[in-house]
Every structure is written in C-alpha cells, then in structure tokens.
Amino acid sequence: MDQHGQRTVRERVLDGDVPLDAAGFRREIQTSWQRCRLVGVRPTGDEVPFRPELERPGRLARAAGPVLDRLAEQIEDGPVSILLADSEAQIIDRRTGHRELTDALDRALVSPGFYYAEEFTGTNGIGTALEAASPFVVSGAEHFRENLQEFTCIGSPLKHPITGNVEGVLDVTCRVGDGHGVMKPLVLAAVREIESRMYADASRREQLLLEHFLRANRRATSAVVSLNEDVVMANTAASALLDLSDQATLWDWACRLLGTGDECTGEVRLAGDVVVQARAARVGERGSMAGVVVEMRPHTRGDGRALAGRRSATRPHEPREDDTLPGRSMAARRLRDDVGAALTTDRPVLLCGEAGTGKLHVARHLHRRRAGQDPLTVLDAVVAQDDPAGWIAKLAKVLADGAVVLRHLDRLEPALVERVEAVVDAAAPGRVMATARTRGDSRLLDHFPFSVTVPALRFRTEDIADLAPALLAAHTSRRPVPRLSPGTIRTLAARDWPGNIRELESVLVTAAVRAMGSDIAQEHLPPEYRCATGKSSGSPLQRAERDILLETLVEARGNKLAAAERLGIARSTLYRKMRALGIDEKHLPTP
C-alpha cells in the first residue's frame, strides 16, 4: 500500500470506520497504536514534553560522541538526521543534513530537550523502539500523530553490553520520499560501534575499580567496598554490613564529600541503623571518575563495644511489627526521639506536618505503644460542619469507649471550638491526639501541650530505601516485597516530593505493578519520575538554604511577599534565590 492509501486507511481507522486489525498495517504498528489508544494519546495533538536542562548521561555521551561526529561528517548536507535519545526518550543530541530537513524537524519539535516517549508522542522511532526493545521502523502514516507523517524513522535501542540495561536510542530520520534501504544497516552498524565503545569504557572503569579494591583489601583489616553507579565489589566484612540500598547511600555520600578532592572521611548511617566510620578514595581521573573505594569500620560506643554487628540472614528491610517508624536520617531519628518523649505524657498530643507526611500513621503508632487494646477512632474535623451536633456527640461517645485522633484540627469551624474544648478537657488521660498542618493560632490547639513534628519527605530522602518496604507491604501479599535498585533509589532521592510519603507510596505501587514481581528498576517508575530532577544538586549549604526557602514559602502558602518578610529579605532577592536554587512556585508542597 502506498503512502496515499495508508493515509486514507489511517483516517478511516481513527474515525472508527475500519477496525485496526483490518487496516493492513504491520503487526508491530498495530500493537503500538493499541498502546497509544490505551494511554490516551491524541492523534491530532502536537504537544511534546520539554525540559531545557539536558542531563546527558556520561557513559552514553562518551561512547556515542565520536560515532555521531563521524556520521555527521558523512551526512553533511544530506537528507537525513541522526538523533540520540536517553533511556527516557529525551533527545539529547541531533546531527542534521540540509537546512530544509532541519526546519521540518524544528517545526515538529524533534530537537534536543523534547521527550519522545510513546505515551507522550505516539508511535515514533525513538519511543516505540524503547517500548519494543528492538530496532523499529515507522514511516509516514504509520505514525500515530499527524504532525510526524512526513518522516521516516529508524530507531534502535542502545544496550549496555555488560548490564543489559537500555542506555538510550539511536535514530535516523528523513522525509518519507528520501528513505533508503541502507538506512537500517547504517543504524545497526552505528549501534554496534557505540555498544562496543560502552563495553570498552565499562571494562576500563571496572578494571580500575578491581585494581584499587584488591590493593585496599590486601592492606586493610576492615570492610572494603569498591563501587560506582552500577558496580559493587565487597569483601566478606563489607558484605555482612551492606544491604542493597547501601550502594546508593555510600555512592551519594562519597560523591558529596569528595567534591574535587581525592579522599574524605566521615560517619555513614546504613540500612538497619548500622553506623560506620568510613574513608573514601577516588578511583580514576578527576574528569572521569571510575568510582570510589570505601573502607569502613563499625562505629563504637564509649565503652568500646560496636554499635553495628553482622547482619542476620534475614533481609534487613523486611517490615517488622515493631518497626513502624523506619528511617536512617537525622530527621527520622529526631522523630523517633519525639515519639518516645510523647509516650511519657498522658496529655493530648498534636502531630504537626505537611499534607502526606504520615501524621496519622505516627498517631496510630503512638496509640499502639500507649494504649494497647483500647479502640482508636479517627474523626475528621473538616466534616464536622456538615452535622455539628452529631459530630460532637460522636466525639463524646468515642472518648467514653476509647481513644480518638482528630484529623485536620486546624480546619475546625471556629463556632465549634468551644464545644470541642469541653469534650477534650473532660476526656480520660492519654485518649486524645490530633493532626494539623502547624500549631497555628487556633485557641483549641493550646489544649494540646505536647506536639510532635512529622518531617517532610524532602528533608529525609535518604530514608526512601527504608520507607519503601513498609509502603509496598501494605499493597502486596508477596514476600519478600520488591526491593528498589540502587539507581531507582538515587533517582527518587533527587526529587522534592511535594506530596510527601503519600506521593511516594503512589509512585511505588505503580512501579511494583509494572515490575510484575521483580525488583523495581528505574524503567518501572512512572515516566515523569524516571529523571532525577527537582532537587538542588549544589553544596550542602545550598541544599540547606533551598530547604529553608521552600519551608518558608509553604508556611506562607505561596505568598512571596509574606515569605520574604519572614526571611528578612527583599522580595526581589527571594525571586532571585528561587531561580538560582531551582524552586518552582507552581509545584510547592501542599499546605
């Protein structure tokens, strides 16, 4: 069928006049169109996701760069374009021939920075090659979207020859009439060359890691691990200390402290509350770090006894009945200390924190440790206005039989405050808890003399590896629950999480379904979460400044003037700092 005939059939399929399986399209095109329909891609749409800050993957760029340079020389002034995309289908490089094709690609938004994942832009040479995990050809009317029908595209995934992970896609695009039979062999030959360069690059880096690991292990009597983003080598002592999630923790710690230096030392808190004194040394050249070698010793107490010993044979991240407040961060430890202090009082306790931080979970944890068998009822103060008398009566009845958590107490109707005060004051000791965004100015909140602040997830992203098993366990009967790969942990930890733990839970549940029982890799995450974006990657001081600004903006409910006044700076200064620190005012955490 010629292009004109395909276009006619395409329109009839989209109008519903002809079933897709009777349209004469190739089976792989039909399968892609079915996926596009399922996720709601519009055939007439022309919007394409775009992120201007390109994060070119180092090893992909190193391997593909020389090959693209050579191909660019060969196609100079020719009718084809070479595209390189990363594993998320974002175009990161483009080499074009004559000007007419370049202008056509620009009009269709086929240029660096734009995402061509199939769920965003329909059947195309980049996104569909990723979905099919094999070379893919799409021409003219086979594109699901109308604005791509003038092109013929041949894309092929670039797979890491050692790990097998898809690193990106190489695509050759031309106008429909300019297609040539040698295009596919050209793409496949270039892919083989890039993958060969990736293998050589990985081999050199791994050889360096191995040499430094063996050297350190010969002289050391402690735990030794040599690692980078993908590889971990550990001696017996290190294997006893480390969990899967600790690879990401150690790598992040070493990269943050090393900076431009060659060595660093410090204390690292690993999974299972294991604390080690660590020394890291750079492996490789400063311009191209192959990894780090880390020597570790368990931290000791004042009496000389080790705080951390050999891990048990069971997986340390399996949720336990008594381990409901997981986390290794300073914020998590402070939360556990505050909960412990709350257990010493029988006065009403207020749980403060942003939406989605898990205040109700902490309240239930407090109740279990406090009251044992007493029933616990949750009442939402927001719905009290629907039937004030009935809500107050229910509150009094609940407190006569057990304990209560008053959710959203800071949003209680002012007219009900006095009546709720009377009920709370008359309650038996240890039976009243409440949740609120902040202590605020409500008179009723003064009746809660003890408060616990539940930290936002952006202040404890190093806890994600510890939180994930508990969150996933609530949604699956499978044991052991799926684990997060080190790359997944790094990606999730680099985000701001305006929806806090509630948002993280939604992402993990979606990823677990995609993983179908296997451990959760980056490709299992929802597309918009696969890139490590949003969080400042500057110095610890810059990250602390960003957190302060973000928290102040949340407390001021996005009011820049009020936030600037609280910080004691001019509003223009606040705007400048927001831009410098990457704070998007449209995506602030929910108050």
pLDDT digit string (tens) for the chain, length 591 residues: 566 677 888 888 888 888 888 778 889 999 999 988 888 889 988 888 887 666 666 778 889 999 999 998 888 778 899 999 998 899 999 998 888 899 999 999 999 989 999 988 999 999 999 988 899 999 999 999 998 999 999 999 999 887 677 889 999 999 988 876 768 888 999 999 999 998 888 777 788 888 888 988 888 788 999 988 778 888 988 888 888 778 888 888 888 787 767 888 988 888 877 889 999 998 886 566 788 999 998 875 444 444 444 444 334 444 444 456 888 888 888 899 999 999 998 899 999 998 999 999 999 999 988 866 678 999 999 998 889 999 999 999 999 888 999 999 988 888 898 899 899 888 888 899 999 988 766 678 888 889 999 999 988 888 999 999 989 988 887 778 888 888 888 889 888 898 999 999 999 999 998 888 788 888 889 888 887 555 544 544 566 677 778 778 877 777 888 888 888 888 888 888 887 777 766 666 655
Pick from 550, 552, 542: which is nearest to 588 by CA?
550
Pick from 189, 151, 147, 158: which is nearest to 84 by CA?
158
Domains defined for the chain, CATH in brackets: 3-200 (3.30.450.40), 220-298 (3.30.450.20), 330-453 (3.40.50.300), 460-529 (1.10.8.60), 540-587 (1.10.10.60)
Pick from 552, 506, 547: which is nearest to 525 by CA?
506
Cα distance between residue 299 and residue 288, in whole Å: 32
Cα distance between residue 130 and residue 86, in whole Å: 10
Q: How many CB atoms are closer than 10 A to CB 430?
A: 18
Token duo for residue 283: 């492996």
Radius of gyration of the chain (CA): 28
Sheet containing 136-139: order of strands: 91-96, 80-86, 166-175, 151-159, 136-139
Q: Cis omega before residue 480 (within 30°)?
A: yes
Task: Please identify which residue in the block is written with the tokens 């021409």.
Answer: 139
Q: What is the largest CA-CA distance in the chain?
A: 85
CA-CA-CA-CA torsion sign (308, 251, 245, 361): positive
For the chain, the distance separating the N- and C-terminal CA atoms, rounded to the nearest angstrom, is 58
Strand 80-86 relative to strand 91-96: parallel, antiparallel, unpaired? antiparallel
297 burial level (CB within 10 Å; 0-12, 13-18, 19+):
middle
Strand 263-270 relative to strand 274-285: parallel, antiparallel, unpaired? antiparallel
Kindly give the interhelix angle for 540-555 and 571-580, rounded to the nearest 10 degrees: 130
Token duo for residue 282: 């750079």
Q: Are 144 and 125 in contact (CB under 8 A)?
A: no
Assign 393 to helix, strand or coil.
helix
